[in-house]
């Protein structure tokens, strides 16, 4: 099986991007797929949600160090990986990610640094998913050069529509400038659907997402179990495997093309 390289990307913060990465990765791992989650956000929320410690210069090598100083070192790339649970692994965030965009701007061949590191891990995993920081900078460009596909988590608000349109323009511009084939869009994931009924504005925004040329592959309703799973450092598939929240993320993995539908 060829490794799939996916990015969870939205320059707008607060859209449950990290939660989506965690539980989508958990759905893939629960299906028997060896899955690596890469935390490229210096806030390290994915790392913390997985119950791991951020990398620093004391407790281990960091991904920025690999990108800047050891981009073609396979052993260094392998040293970044931590095991979370069966079939689920992570490359934790690190505090030097705050300065990574600045440092990359000063480096040669700066747009391929992430690819040079992560390509060493392709043969070890079925899926690699990168949780990106909010914003569009050179580290995001690195992800877009590495990724085969993009998933876009959003919320039910009009600013999410504007942010998505900006992201689409950014991907297109980067592809034009570098003359490379851009990653495909696996889909939009609408997060934090209210437990109660939708307002008229909610329904209008929801429909606006469905009217875009990118398919909506998941609508995640608010569930207390999702919060409790993160508090315990678990995926929803580990915390409540028979609940409807776990089923939502499994369905998302199928609709996004990561898993085959169960007959």
- What is the 3 state secondary structure string of 220-237? EECCHHHHHHHHCCCCHH
Half-sphere exposure of 74 (CA within 13 A, CB side): 6
> What are residue 39's DSSP bridge partners?
131
Q: Where are the beta strands (DSSP E) in the chain?
A: 4-8, 35-40, 82-85, 88-91, 127-132, 149-155, 184-193, 216-221
Condensed to tens digits (0 to 9), the pLDDT of residues 128-139 reads 999 999 888 889
Structural domain boundaries in the chain? 4-255
User: For position 108, what pLDDT does the model report?
Assistant: 77
Please give the CATH architecture assigned to the domain spanning 4-255.
3-Layer(aba) Sandwich (3.40)
Provide Rg for the chain, Cα atoms: 18
pTM of structure: 0.95
User: For position 106, what pLDDT does the model report?
Assistant: 86
Q: Tens of pLDDT along the chain (263 residues)?
A: 689 999 999 988 889 999 999 999 999 999 999 999 999 999 999 999 999 998 875 667 899 999 999 889 999 999 999 999 999 999 999 989 999 999 998 887 788 999 999 999 999 999 999 999 988 888 989 999 999 999 999 999 888 888 888 888 888 888 888 888 889 999 999 998 988 888 999 999 999 999 999 999 999 999 999 999 999 999 999 999 999 999 999 999 999 999 998 76
Condensed to tens digits (0 to 9), the pLDDT of residues 98-150 reads 999 999 988 877 889 999 999 999 999 999 999 999 888 889 899 999 999 99
Rounded CA-CA distance 38/240 in Å is: 24
41 and 94 in contact (C-beta within 8 Å)?
no
């Amino acid at each position: 099986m060829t490794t799939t390289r996916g990015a969870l990307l939205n320059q707008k913060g607060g859209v449950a991007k990290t939660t989506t990465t965690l539980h989508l990765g958990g759905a893939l791992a629960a299906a028997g797929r060896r899955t690596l989650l890469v935390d490229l956000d210096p806030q390290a929320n994915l790392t913390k949600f997985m119950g791991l410690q951020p990398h620093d210069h004391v407790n281990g090598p960091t991904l920025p160090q690999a990108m800047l100083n050891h981009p073609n070192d396979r052993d260094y790339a392998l040293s970044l990986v931590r095991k979370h649970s069966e079939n689920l692994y992570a490359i934790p965030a690190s505090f030097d990610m705050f300065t990574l965009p600045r440092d990359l701007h000063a480096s040669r061949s700066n747009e391929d640094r992430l690819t040079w590191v992560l390509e060493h891990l392709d043969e070890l995993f079925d899926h690699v998913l990168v949780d990106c920081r909010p914003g569009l900078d050179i580290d995001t460009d690195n992800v877009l050069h590495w990724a085969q596909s993009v998933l876009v988590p959003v919320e039910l608000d009009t600013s999410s529509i504007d942010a998505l349109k900006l992201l689409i323009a950014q991907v297109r511009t980067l592809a034009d400038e570098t003359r490379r084939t851009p990653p495909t869009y696996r889909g939009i994931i609408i997060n934090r659907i209210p437990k109660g009924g939708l307002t008229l504005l909610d329904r209008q925004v929801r429909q606006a997402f469905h009217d875009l040329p990118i398919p909506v592959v998941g609508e995640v309703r608010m569930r207390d179990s999702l919060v409790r799973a993160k508090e315990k450092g678990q995926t929803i598939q580990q915390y409540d495997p028979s609940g409807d929240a776990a089923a939502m993320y499994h369905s998302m993995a199928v609709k996004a093309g990561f898993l085959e539908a169960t007959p």
